């Protein structure tokens, strides 16, 4: 494909890929991606830095320098319109840099910006388009959007099972059902989450292992949260009494629930799972520990229409599947 | 692809596809496929007829007539070398027809033919090649080969589960977990089996439904077998006391085990399952009926290396997967 033939959606997907670099590092801000393109060539790239500043647009504009003049900016989230003690509004930076056109993945649900950033760009004579590759842009911002709209993190429930849905033998042994590649994938997923939540049984069995064990990514181990009716947290952990309390986890937009059976069922019963991350090994276990306890399902018909497959791949002998809650 | 560029393996796969037409209809003979090709064009096709005769080669030679002279015959199984009251040996028919070359998928494990058919062709001056697309040819003949080598039918265990491995709610309701397309696929699978086996619980719940309910294929409903320790069979059914008795099912080379939990576990515990046919719906059930009971697994390590994925497809919202036992 020659450079000039890429569509706006192609560039937006490239910006979304950049945004992933800052995921679960950019708190308290969402991780945004920005690409500046002039005459079909990339002149600047940016993503939200660790800690939330600089913003993606500022980083891309700094990289482009004078080349930003007349360029098109592809940005996954509407540029902010509010000045902050931590830096100027991105809409103003784009105007000052002389950008000719801004293509936006999705508008900012933050009431301080919602539509205001796009309006400020337009009033400065910049061509503005919104809603480009919007489902993918929103998926990349799901933690932030869920926090803004539901007041809680986006919740991924991870399960690793046999073909017959078991997570362990009857004696509790579960090392290993899935292979090395699937387990490495789980560690990348952990690095993309702000916090990881488990119940008491998993805490007692696996606490030392609930980190990112990929060379170079150890510092991206998420915060650790224990679901415990007692509410008492071990050192280095946060305790919550129920799934309904996850909104109180400051700075946590992406939460991964990793076990065990009753915790997973409690989140599902509360309809607080937004994504299922399943790893399935080509083994049969038979009698053993089931993946889920009671999720409050009374009629089979109610189980349908809730989950849509959004990604699947083979990892060694195992299959990964990602399902999104249909809301 | 121009006609002349097809490889021997391509033609063999076409012959294998023809063989499927006779599957579970050709008892007491295996269903074989045969294609006669001259100068890159098909001049005759055949597959084993209902009841086992005529054989595939005889049907293809009849279709080709004089055009068989100088042709290449692609046949999934070694042509038979033994005369029978029901017809002449296929090796002799091929020689008499003046075929120039015979390409064989796999040799016949039947001791009356094993290697003898190929030898008779060669001694008549026909070029013979064996082992072309052999894994696929053997898979299409698995019922026959398993009967010859293990003295029992090839066993497919079918399971329809939720994502969490449940086959029903706690109250037993299971209609429906999978959708209409997956259920139609099951009916095609039934039509490709000589017999279907269930346990007492499934018999009592579903007996009237254990047939092929696809318009035009009703007559291909398999024989029905009940696994029952008591050994007493209802009218129209055959009763077996244990999985070890399936070798006694005369004329049954392809057996499908459809339920329930304990029957499936008993076959797995006896290592008498050759293929898993899984249908998985994008639903979660939580507490409910597990797919499998105790299969006698003591150590997780023993569960690995037993199953290889050989086919998968989406059927509506459901995923079908086929796994073959690695032996």
Main-chain phi, psi angles of A209, to 5 degrees: -100, 0
Q: Looking at the complex, does the CB of residue A270 fall below 8 Å from at least one CB of chain B?
A: no
Q: Is the pLDDT of residue A308 over 80?
A: yes
Of B286, B295, B308, Cβ closest to residue A292: B286
C-alpha distance from A257 to closest chain B C-alpha (Å) = 16
CATH class of B152-325: alpha beta
- Residue A236: helix, strand or coil by DSSP? coil
Segments making up each domain of chain A, as ranges: 3-147, 152-325
Report angle CA B243, B246, B247 to the nearest 5 degrees. Answer: 135
Report, as an integer, the average pLDDT of B248-263: 94
pLDDT for residue B1: 45
Report the catalytic residues of B.
57
Pairwise CA distance, residues A96 & A73, whole Å: 13
Report the catalytic residues of A.
57
pLDDT for residue A38: 96
Pairwise CA distance, residues A288 & B291, whole Å: 11
CB-based contact A287 B278, cutoff 8 Å: no
CATH number corresponding to B3-147: 3.40.140.10
Which two tokens mark B318? 């459901």
Q: Which residue, chain included where needed, has tokens 């560029």? A: B5
Q: Looking at the complex, does the CB of residue A176 fall below 8 Å from at least one CB of chain B?
A: yes
Higher pLDDT among residues A2 and A135, named by residue: A135
Q: Considering only CB atoms, which chain A residues are within 8 Å of B292? A: 164, 284-287
CA-nearest residue of chain B to A282? B307
Q: What is the pLDDT of residues A198-249, one digit of tens each?
A: 999 888 887 767 888 888 887 778 899 999 888 788 888 999 999 999 999 9
Of B269, B286, B299, Cβ closest to residue A293: B286
Which two tokens mark B163? 């994502």
pTM: 0.91
Closest CA to B147 of B253, B65, B261, B67: B253
- Percent pLDDT > 70 in chain B is 98
Of A162, A163, A309, Cβ closest to residue B282: A309
Q: Looking at the complex, does the CB of residue B207 fall below 8 Å from at least one CB of chain A?
A: no
Q: Is the pLDDT of residue B84 over 90?
A: no
pLDDT for residue B232: 82
Q: Is the pLDDT of residue B219 over 80?
A: no
Report angle CA B15, B18, B23 to the nearest 5 degrees. Answer: 125
Report, as an integer, the average pLDDT of A48-66: 95
pLDDT for residue A1: 45
CB-based contact A300 B276, cutoff 8 Å: no
Pairwise CA distance, residues A79 & A107, whole Å: 8
Q: Is the pLDDT of residue B37 over 60?
A: yes
Report, as an integer, the average pLDDT of B44-61: 95
């Amino acid at each position: 494909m020659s450079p000039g033939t890429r569509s706006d959606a192609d560039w937006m997907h490239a910006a979304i890929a950049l945004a992933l670099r800052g995921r679960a590092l950019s708190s308290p801000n969402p991780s945004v991606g920005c690409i500046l393109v002039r005459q079909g060539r990339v002149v600047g790239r940016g993503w939200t830095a660790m800690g939330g500043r600089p913003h993606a647009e500022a980083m891309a504009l700094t990289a482009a320098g004078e080349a930003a003049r007349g360029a098109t900016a592809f940005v996954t989230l509407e540029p902010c319109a509010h000045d902050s003690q931590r830096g100027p509004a991105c809409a103003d930076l784009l105007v000052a840099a002389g950008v000719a056109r801004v293509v936006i993945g999705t508008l900012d649900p933050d009431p301080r910006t919602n539509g205001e950033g796009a309006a400020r760009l337009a009033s400065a004579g910049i061509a503005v388009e919104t809603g480009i590759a919007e489902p993918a842009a929103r998926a990349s911002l799901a933690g932030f959007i869920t926090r803004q709209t539901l007041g809680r993190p986006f919740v991924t429930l991870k399960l690793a099972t046999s073909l017959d849905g078991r997570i362990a033998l009857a004696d509790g042994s579960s090392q290993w059902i899935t292979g090395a590649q699937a387990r490495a994938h789980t560690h990348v997923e952990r690095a993309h989450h702000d916090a990881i939540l488990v119940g008491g049984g998993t805490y007692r069995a696996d606490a030392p292992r609930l980190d990112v064990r990929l060379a170079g990514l150890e510092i991206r181990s998420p915060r650790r949260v224990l679901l415990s009716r007692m509410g008492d947290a071990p050192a280095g952990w946060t305790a919550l009494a129920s799934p309904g309390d996850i909104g109180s986890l400051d700075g946590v937009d992406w939460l991964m629930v990793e076990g065990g059976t009753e915790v997973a069922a409690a989140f599902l019963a509360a309809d607080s799972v937004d994504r299922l991350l399943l790893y399935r090994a080509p083994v049969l276990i038979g009698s053993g520990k089931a993946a889920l306890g009671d999720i409050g399902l009374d009629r089979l018909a109610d189980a349908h229409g809730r989950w849509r497959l959004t990604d699947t791949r083979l990892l060694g002998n195992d299959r990964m599947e990602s399902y999104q809650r249909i809301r």
